[in-house]
Amino acid sequence: MSSDLPPAAALKPPYYAVIFTSQRTEDDRGYERMAERMVELAARQPGFLGIESVRDVDGRGITVSYWASEQAIAAWKAHLEHRAAQQEGIRRWYAHYNVRVAKVERAYERTAPGNRRNELDIRLDTLDSREMIDLLAEHLRAMSETSPPESIHALGADELRKPDVTLWSAWDGTELAGCGALKELDATHGEIKFMRTVASRQRRGVASALLRHMLEEAKRRGYRRLSLETGSMAYFEPARSLYRKFGFEECPPFADYVDDPNSVFMTLEL
């Protein structure tokens, strides 16, 4: 089972669940590639909230995707590439399937004490490890490839080490899973300045865990508002979707930012 959903307390009802149950055929050629592509596409759609999926050794599977509205579900169903994948699934991969759409009005969760050892270790970071240096370089490279130079607001290593910025890294044992940074704008206003998940850990809850950690720290500091700037391009839709799940809403430019068609500004009252 994989997921990048926050706990029920963060993913606040009401929202919608599309429940897809299926029985696979023995022909699995191209299936995994198609499935990965569909998750990638869905994550870019407005209103996408997350996905969970599991399949047993006999080919019986269930995938549940979560959406903000019925309109978002309808738009995803009508997506041309998604429709083509549906037709290919009927022709090759599914002996039978069933789709159910439900409105989630109440949700809760509990982790058994014996399983808490699997939680990420989120710690303060000084950007000294090779893993963190490489992840920052990957982040800066991705920003340069997706945004024009005048619209890139990512911080370099020296800026991330300044006193007004706090950097955390998330570890799964000895493996780096992701990182995030919080900048203090003033005594009541903070900015989420940096969020990055290691590629192999994407859609597994790392970004949600880091964001929850920074929200808790912002409240502990007494901030009244937490804001952020992210890109307006399709590449950044998974990030925008994550922030919307936690209650962030679009807002005008804040601090030293100015209107920019390549930027989306979001804020959350604490």
CA 244 distance to own-chain centroid? 10
Amino acid 180: pLDDT:
93
pLDDT over 70, % of the chain: 92
Entry pTM: 0.58
Report the greatest alpha carbon distance in the chain: 60
For each of the domains in the chain, give its residue range(s) and CATH number, in order of start. Answer: 15-104 (3.30.70.100), 115-269 (3.40.630.30)
Q: Which residues, at least 6 apart from 71, have a Cβ–Cβ distance to it below 8 Å?
A: 47
Q: What is the DSSP string of 138-152?
A: HHHHHHHHHS-GGG-
Compute the average pLDDT of residues 229-256: 90
Q: Is the pLDDT of residue 117 over 60?
A: no
Local confidence band at 113 (pLDDT 50, 70, 90 cut-offs): low
DSSP H helical ranges for the chain = 31-43, 70-78, 80-88, 130-146, 157-160, 206-221, 237-245
Compute the average pLDDT of residues 17-41: 87
Low-confidence winner among 74-83, 166-175, 188-197, 235-244 (lowest mean pLDDT): 235-244
Question: Which neighbouring-strand residues pair with 137?
Answer: none
Q: Is the pLDDT of residue 125 over 80?
A: yes
Q: Please calculate the CA angle 4-115-217 and round it to the nearest 5 degrees.
A: 55
Q: How far apart are CA 124 and CA 128, in angstroms?
A: 11
Q: Is the pLDDT of residue 11 over 70?
A: no
Q: Is the pLDDT of residue 155 over 50?
A: yes
